[in-house]
């Protein structure tokens, strides 16, 4: 095998503020949905690892919780998960929503830590949502960011449309180190099936109840096994709410909202797993669950 044909492997952390489009970019690089997308901020709660293949390179993409001001134990754990991702990656990709008004002070705190944790060759800047940003602003943002923190490369992309994503993927593939692939060539994510299924359902809840329901919900996959007929997967999940008054919101009149959420989640799961999925959903109230240790199990590993 020639030097150019040798397998390469490495990891990339996508970090930045909430709603910068990190999950959309992760999905675009993988070529399949493995991270949930929502207009709500702070919807990525732990390190989601996607697996992208480019030529002879296998790239593990770590989509991290966005940066925000933590208010409670659960929030602090989310932020810790984001910074933890920098410890074992080859590239740190700082993602900015270029469509929003730019404020250097909002980024400086994070850039200072990135400078401390990485060197210039290990970090790139990605201006996302450039299709929704005035062109005259993009170069100015890039210049100000590189003045505050030198990046090896700066990319301008629209993760939603795919514009510029191929350039990022090629750069990341070229930046990986020689080494055997850790995962199979068909693998898309390192997430356990139970957790991936829970994330798909959580996405559908946000899509259906983005105005009525606060962030503080969780999905627990209690059962995940082959269906009795042997033709698919049988999944049972509990939707955990912190406030009892939110239960009727999730259920809807005569359970219709929950039924719609279940139908849409089942269809997405069936497409993702390429087989029939039988999904049962239940709603359960757990007082102050965000302050209990069980709320942090998702951050392990």
CATH 3.40.50.300 fits 3-178, yes or no: yes
Query: How far from chain centre, in Å, is Cα 154?
Result: 21
pLDDT of residue 81: 57
**Average pLDDT rounded to a whole number, residues 10-21:** 86
Question: Going by C-beta distance under 8 Å and a sequence separation of 6 or more, which residues neighbour residue 270?
Answer: 232, 276, 277
For position 293, what pLDDT does the model report? 46
**Most confidently modeled of 4-13, 43-52, 162-171?**
162-171
Q: Please say if the pLDDT value at position 175 is more than 80.
A: yes
pLDDT band at 70 (very low <50, low <70, confident <90, very high): very low
Considering the chain, tell me which residue range(s) the CATH 3.30.300.20 domain(s) occupy.
Answer: 193-299
**CATH 3.30.300.20 correct for 193-299:** yes
Query: What pLDDT score does 38 carry?
Result: 52
Q: What is the pLDDT of residues 33-62, one digit of tens each?
A: 877 665 444 444 556 788 999 999 999 888
- What is d(CA 165, CA 29) in angstroms, rounded to the nearest whole number? 7
Q: What is the pLDDT of residue 264?
A: 94
The residue to which tokens 């991270």 are assigned: 35
- Would you state the structure tokens that stand for residue 58, as one six-digit string? 């296998």
As a whole-number percent, the residues of the chain with pLDDT over 70 amount to: 80
**CA torsion, points 223, 227, 231, 232, in degrees to nearest 10?**
-10
Q: What is the pLDDT of residues 264-299, one digit of tens each?
A: 999 999 988 889 999 999 998 887 665 554 444 443
Distance from C-alpha of 268 to C-alpha of 289, rounded to nearest angstrom: 28
- Decide which of 187 and 127 is more confident: 127
Q: Which of 103, 92, 84, 88 is nearest to 152 (CA)?
A: 92
- Examine the pLDDT at 11 and tell me if it is beyond 80: yes
Residue ranges, CATH 3.40.50.300, the chain: 3-178
Q: Is the pLDDT of residue 258 over 90?
A: yes
Q: Is the pLDDT of residue 79 over 80?
A: no
pLDDT value at residue 253? 92
The 3-state secondary structure of the chain, one letter per residue = CCHHHCCEEEEEEEEEECCCCHHHHHHHHHCCCCCCCCCCCCCCCCCEEEEEEECCEEEEEEECCCECCCCCHHHHHHHHHHHHHHHHCCEEEEEEECCCCCCHHHHHHHHHHHHHHCCHHHEEEEEECHHHCCHHHHHHHHHHHHHHCCCCEEEECECCCCECHHHHHHHHHHHCEECCCCCCCCCCECCCHHHHHHHHHHHHHHHHCCCCCCCCEEEEEEEEEECCCCCCEEEEEEEEECCHHHHHHHHCHHHHHHHHHHHHHHHHHHHHHCCCEEEEEEEEECCCHHHCHHHHHHHCC
pLDDT band at 138 (very low <50, low <70, confident <90, very high): very high
Distance CA 253, CA 124 (A): 49
Work out the mean pLDDT of the chain and round it to a whole number: 83
Residue 285, pLDDT score: 86
The whole-angstrom separation of Cα 291 and Cα 257 is 28
Q: For 87-107, b where at least 16 C-beta lie within 10 A, e where not — what string?
A: eebbbbbbbbbbbeebeeeeb
Average pLDDT for residues 21-36, to the nearest whole number? Answer: 86
Q: How far apart are CA 68 and CA 148, in angstroms?
A: 20
Residue (of 243, 199, 242, 236) closest to 221 by Cα position: 236
Give the pLDDT of residue 29: 95
Better-predicted residue by pLDDT, 231 or 72: 231
Mean pLDDT of 2-15: 82
């Amino acid at each position: 095998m020639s030097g150019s044909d040798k397998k390469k492997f490495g990891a990339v952390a996508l970090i930045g503020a909430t709603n910068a489009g990190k999950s959309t970019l992760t999905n675009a690089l993988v070529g399949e949905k493995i991270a949930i997308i929502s207009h709500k901020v702070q919807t990525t709660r732990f390190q989601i690892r996607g697996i992208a293949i480019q030529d002879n390179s296998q790239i593990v993409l770590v989509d991290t919780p966005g940066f925000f001001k933590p208010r409670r134990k659960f929030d602090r754990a989310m932020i810790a998960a984001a910074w933890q991702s920098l410890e074992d990656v080859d590239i740190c990709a700082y993602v900015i929503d270029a469509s929003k008004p730019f404020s250097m002070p909002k980024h400086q705190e994070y850039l200072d830590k990135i400078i401390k944790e990485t060197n210039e060759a290990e970090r790139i800047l990605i201006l996302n949502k450039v299709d929704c940003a005035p062109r005259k602003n993009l170069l100015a943002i890039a210049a100000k960011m590189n003045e505050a923190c030198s990046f090896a490369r700066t990319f301008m992309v629209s993760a939603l449309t795919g514009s510029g994503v191929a350039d990022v993927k090629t750069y990341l593939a070229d930046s990986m180190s020689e080494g055997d692939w850790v995962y199979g060539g068909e693998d898309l994510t390192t997430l356990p099936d139970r957790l991936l299924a829970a994330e798909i359902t959580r996405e559908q809840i946000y899509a259906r109840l983005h105005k009525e329901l606060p962030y503080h919900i969780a999905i627990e996959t209690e059962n995940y096994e082959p269906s009795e007929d042997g033709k698919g997967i049988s999944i049972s999940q509990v939707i955990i709410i912190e406030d009892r008054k939110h239960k009727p919101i999730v259920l809807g009149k005569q359970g219709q909202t929950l039924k719609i959420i279940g139908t849409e989640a089942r269809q997405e799961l069936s497409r993702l797993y390429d087989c029939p999925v039988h999904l049962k959903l239940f709603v359960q109230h757990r007082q102050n669950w965000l302050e209990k240790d069980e709320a942090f199990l998702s951050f392990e590993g």
